[in-house]
Amino acid sequence: MSKIVTYSPAYTLVPTYECFNRCTYCNFRQEPGTDQWMSLEKARETLTRLQSTEVIEILILSGEVHPKSARRAAWFEHIYQMCELALAMGFLPHTNVGPLSYQEMAALKQVNASMGLMLEQMTPTLMNTVHKYAPSKQPERRLEQLNFAGRLKIPFTTGILLGLGETVEDWQESLSAIAQVHQKYGHIQEVILQPHQPGERQSEVRSPCYGTTLLKAVKLAKSVLPSDITIQIPPNLILLDQALLDCIAAGATDLGGIGPIDEVNPNYSHRDRITMRSLLDTQGWKLQKRLPVYRQYDQWLPSEIAEVSKQYQYSAENALS
- The fraction of the chain above a pLDDT of 70, given in percent, is 97
CATH number at residue 250: 3.20.20.70
Total number of domains constituting the chain: 1
Q: Collapse the DSSP code of 177 into the 3-class scheme (helix H, G, I; strand E, B; otherwise coil) and give the result.
A: helix
Q: What DSSP string runs through 234-269?
A: -GGG--SHHHHHHHHHTT--EEEEE-S--SSSTT-P
Of 220, 218, 162, 154, the closest CA to residue 181 belongs to 154
- Predicted local distance difference test score (pLDDT) of residue 206: 87
The H or E element that residue 193 is part of is strand 188-195
Q: ∠73-134-196 over CA atoms, to 5°?
A: 115
- 321 part of a folded domain: no
Q: ∠179-122-8 over CA atoms, to 5°?
A: 55
Whole-angstrom distance, CA of residue 202 vs CA of residue 130: 11
Whole-angstrom distance, CA of residue 86 vs CA of residue 122: 33
Neighbouring C-beta atoms of residue 304, cutoff 10 Å:
13
154-179 tens-digit pLDDT: 999 999 999 999 999 999 999 999 99
The H or E element that residue 189 is part of is strand 188-195
- 313 part of a folded domain: no
Query: Whole domain around residue 37: which residue ranges?
Result: 3-305
- Determine phi and psi for 53, rounding to 5 degrees: -115, -175
- The fraction of the chain above a pLDDT of 90, given in percent, is 93
Whole-angstrom distance, CA of residue 176 vs CA of residue 122: 10
- 319 part of a folded domain: no
- 316 part of a folded domain: no
- 315 part of a folded domain: no
Q: What DSSP string runs through 78-98?
A: HHHHHHHHHHHTT-EEEEE-S
State yes or no: pLDDT of 320 exceeds 50: no
- 159 part of a folded domain: yes
Distances (CA, A) of 37 to 15, 40, 64, 82, 246: 5, 9, 12, 12, 40
Please report, as a single letter, which amino acid is at residue 5: V
Model pTM score: 0.95
- Determine phi and psi for 200, rounding to 5 degrees: -85, -20
Q: What is the mean pLDDT of residues 264-273?
A: 93
314 confidence band (pLDDT: 50, 70, 90): low
Distances (CA, A) of 270 to 155, 245, 265, 266, 289: 25, 15, 11, 10, 15
Q: Chain-centre distance of CA 14, in angstroms?
A: 13
- 40 part of a folded domain: yes
Q: What is the mean pLDDT of residues 256-263?
A: 93
- 318 part of a folded domain: no
Neighbouring C-beta atoms of residue 65, cutoff 10 Å:
24
- Predicted local distance difference test score (pLDDT) of residue 321: 44
State yes or no: pLDDT of 315 exceeds 80: no
